[in-house]
Amino acid sequence: MGSEGGCNAVVLMKSGVSLRGFPAIAGRLEEKKRRHVVVFVDVLILAFVAGRLEEKKRRHSRQKQNTLSAGGRWKRNSGMERNEDVNVVRRDMNRKQDTNRKIDLVLFAGQSNMSGRGDAGEAVRCSVDAGYEYKAVSRPGELVPIREPFGLGEDREGGIWDYDPQGRSKRSGSMVSAVAESYHAGTGRRIVGVSASVGGSDTVSWKQVYLADAVERLERAKEFLRAGGYSVQKLFVVWCQGESDGDAGRTAQEYTASLREIYGAFRAHGAEKCFLVQIGHYNYIKYPGTAGLTGKEWDQRYGIIRNAQADLCRMEEDFILAGSFEPYIRDMRDDYHYYQNAYNQVGTAVGEAMAGYVKRNAKDNATGL
């Protein structure tokens, strides 16, 4: 009967005539009703799926907007901090708030090889259990997972400022994630790291400009953690700096006197120990010389600083020689800086040195900061 039968059935129904005497028509009408129901349900399912997809697109857009690239532009899938990472930290804090409110606070200070000129994508991956970063400048109200480049966005004009003339961050991959992961592996403890490094800085500029900024960041981190109910068990400084003092031709005595003064300020604000990273070579293999000196002559100046750092760590208990770039001249990418492998290796050594110190002094009480 086709569509005509359907029309007849509608006419009969509107006229009030019962369909009991017309079984074929009644069956087709019932089948048609079932098809309408199926179509309606399909439409609802499609609408629901479309809504979920749209919400997922909105979430992805928000995450992308909160991902800052090293060049100061928003970049997709860059490996920087993501909203979901921050949420992981918040959930982790809440879950462990009654059992694990103890952390170790570490200030990472120095010049460009502390900031890191490596490749973030090749850096050691740092777990949430190993460490957080406190961003005293850009995100002072929360902790975020340690991600490379560590310290991204932690720059302010007139203070610690590690940008190039085009306004792009020079931080590209550091040792910090390796330090945190290695330290956690050796102790089961986790750190909160604070960035305080700027490329090209010598000890004179540190005393005149950068030290006050670094101390302020340290104090803000302590205040934030205290307000959040955390107990700072250890407060360390990891210091990697000295190439610029070598460039300036400073003596061993001048360098060590300045470094004592700088660390003395950190110690006055609660620092327990300085883990010193020895500088490496001037890359005389690739760069035979510049500015009137041969590469070897520049490296002799760096050797004065290297020896001064080693002597200081031997003589004074405030300082521990935790790692060195000296063996990595063939892993250098330019005159002064390194590929990520060197940062990973040195960072691992620093974390192990910190862990060794903590285990040797396991009976010490918390700093009470």
**Domain(s) of CATH 3.40.50.1110: residues in the chain:** 91-360
Lowest mean pLDDT among 14-23, 125-134, 261-270: 14-23
Q: What is the pLDDT of residues 205-226, one digit of tens each?
A: 999 999 999 999 999 999 999 9
Higher pLDDT, 336 or 13: 336
Residue 149, pLDDT above cutoff 80: yes
Instruction: Return the percentage of the chain with pLDDT > 90, whole number.
Output: 70
pLDDT band at 100 (very low <50, low <70, confident <90, very high): confident
| Alpha-carbon radius of gyration of the chain | 31
Overall average pLDDT of the 345-351 stretch:
99
Separation CA 362–CA 369 (nearest Å): 18
Q: What per-residue confidence (pLDDT) applies to 74?
A: 25
Round to whole Å and give the CA distance between 99 and 97: 6
pLDDT at 31 over 70: no
Question: What's the whole-number mean pLDDT along residues 56-79?
Answer: 37
pLDDT digits (tens, 9 = 90+) for 308-331: 999 999 999 999 999 999 999 999
Smallest CA-to-CA distance from 231 within 91, 368, 128, 355 is with 368
Read off the pLDDT of each residue in 355-364 and give the average, rounded to a whole number. 89
Average pLDDT score over residue span 59-80:
36
Is the model's pLDDT at 369 over the cut of 80?
no
Across residues 169-178, what is the average pLDDT? 98
Give Cα 44 distance to the centre of its chain: 44
Q: Return the minimum-mean-pLDDT range out of 38-42, 124-128, 228-232, 323-327.
A: 38-42
- Give the pLDDT band (50/70/90) at residue 155: very high
Q: Is the pLDDT score of 344 beyond 80? A: yes
Residue 78 has pLDDT above 50, yes or no: no
Which of these CATH numbers, 3.40.50.1110, 3.40.50.1370, 3.10.310.70, 3.40.1190.10, describes 91-360?
Answer: 3.40.50.1110
pLDDT at 220: 98
Answer yes or no: are the C-beta atoms of 171 and 151 closer than 8 Å.
Answer: yes
Cβ–Cβ under 8 Å, residues 183 and 347? no
Q: What is the pLDDT of residues 253-303, one digit of tens each?
A: 999 999 999 999 999 999 999 999 999 999 999 999 889 999 999 999 999
C-alpha 183: how far from its chain's center? 16
Mean pLDDT, the chain, whole residue set: 83
